[in-house]
Structure 1
Amino acid sequence: MSRGTELLKLAAELINAEENVALDAVHDLTTLDGQLAILTGLLRERLISGDTSVDRAEPVDISTALADAHTVRYEIRDFLVHERLRRLDALDAGLASLRKAHDPEELLNRVCEAVSESCGFDRVMLSRVEDSVWRPWKSYAVGNRQPERAFRKWISAIPEIRLDHLMLESEMVRRHKPALVTDGERDPRVYRPLLEASGLSSYVAAPLMPTGRVIGFLHADYESEQATPLDRDILWAFAGAFGQIFERAVLLTRLHEQREQVRMAMQTVTTVLDDLASAEIDLAARAHATALTASRTTRIPLNTSLSKLESLLTARELEVLSLMATGATNDRIAEQLVISNGTVKSHVKRILRKLRAENRSEAISQYLRLTIGEN
């Protein structure tokens, strides 16, 4: 960086092209490479024209400056490529540890620290997005300076921020793209309280989209360095991979819950079938005493069973209960009956209350006792 900046200054003075080079705007290697590209073009034109009478510069000086500029540009490109590969390797290593976690809550608790360790940032913030509201949620910092303490205090207040159409975060929601802020004080899209709370004005941000919809943000910055386009790309790569890991964890959790519900339902069915089998053996023994009594008690009348349920439950509650007996979750029942999840929960509560059941399994057991005997 220092070599390139010095060369930029000397070469610009050599051909009186200071007005074409913005030295005060060079904050990173990518910008420096762009300025050197402009300068090499000017040097090449001056060398081809052969006009050295104005600035009295010898062709050899211009040629030397042009060669040095090409050398520095090559070194910049080489460094940036290797730096990108190095950071991508570190990113893969950090994601490998997250892939071992299968609990969504554990992933959310570890994500900020994982971003800092694998991407190299000094401070990371995780936010949630619900409808049109942005809620800063968790943060992690490698240090404990006053800005970090003030930032944690700001987040602990759980601020709710409306996503205005001119805000940078709103732009990320619309475009599904990451963002880079190099000068927050002059960027009108930046949320001012965030800058005041963090104490820094240069950062990168990326949306979290595990299902294709933005559900949160990751913001990251350094204590004393400017954020660069490479930082933006690395955070964006992390956000994309983390979204897939988080979605997988959610699906595994739901699968485990459904498996447990099916297991409980099957246990209930087994218990009911065992009771019915025992009842049939008992009825067969009594058949020796009286054939009439046996014929009346070996079968639960269809109308009696249904009438008992219909007298207690509404038609919709019977539909919900029958789906519960198959092991269906509330989400599945809502989808099957084309009603909301909240409505299903209300139906389940009323079913448990009317049947005087303590839980779903007991309600299903009662339902099967009254209906399985029909066959």
Structure 2
Amino acid sequence: MKAEFIQALEEIEKEKGISKDIIFDALESALISGYKKNFGSSQNVEVEIDRTTGSVKVYSNKTIVEDVSDEFLEISLDEAKEIDSKYEVDDIVKIEITPKNFGRIAAQTSKQVVMQKIKEAEREVIYEEFVNRENEIVTGMIQRVSKNMVYIDLGKTEGVLPPSEQIENENYEQGGRIKVYILEVKKTTKGPQIILSRSHPGLVKRLFELEVPEIHDGVVDIYAISREAGSRTKLAVYSKDDNVDPVGACVGFKGSRVKAIVEELNGEKIDIVVWSKNVDEFISNSLSPSQVLKVEIDEREKSALVVVPDFQLSLAIGKEGQNARLAAKLTNWKIDIKSESQYKEEIGE
């Protein structure tokens, strides 16, 4: 380890952003382990690397005592005085014990330590990049599918799409390109773990931000989303500009904008409704496409009774109760739906 090694460390510092001192400290620790493994572990050794020349020296640290009981760890006062007359009992003496062939061990260890530090630095860079992109959309390539886990190539690293974040009945074929939502970035001993999602409501939100300029620019806002991935999503929007129709902006000319999102989600139905400060109006809108005749709200219970025309009861409730369930999630209110005739019958009773 001479001048070329120091020069190599300087290059690594520039390119990878790893401080030379970090590598030197790690290297000195690794060389102590290497020495003890090859030359005995009973000594209290210290390794010093010259930061300018790269030369390596091994020292044995011995405590000065009156009577030596362990020659590996202790030295007599008389012997110490021979080295330097100023030494006293309990002082520490550093004696160089660098083995002849220690340079070979140092060279091997250096390579391993440097490679390890480069790996760690690269992992840290990837972690910092992706942790700042949580809740964003990225496009990746499906690398492989193993035990229901889908591994996606994100360029610099790989992300994982676990079964809980997949859309039911969606096919994930190797080599296919896919848009995914970055749900969470974790630090692990093997590097950053990037958890992706296709089922999170945030994916729909980000797709609308990409597709609808009015949302991207902040003119139209998404108030709430309720989603049953792969089947149906409800989106509540409102406009900060009276001249802009929030639903029209999201749907686009001849439905072009919402159609592009539906295609990305493989045919998932999307209902776009207008959010209103008036709770009864918002609840009424949330049950779209059903028509609503009347909404009675109970503020204390945060529940609402909704009356719909007889012929639209099944539409308001939806298949297996889906429309009512998504409306309740969207508004955060309990919703009880009755047909007009059921309501009149109850009033009559």
Q: Do the structures match in fold with TM over 0.5?
A: no
Which has the larger share of strand? 2
When normalised by structure 1's length, the TM-score is 0.28
When normalised by structure 2's length, the TM-score is 0.29
Higher relative contact order (CA 8 A, sep 6+): 1
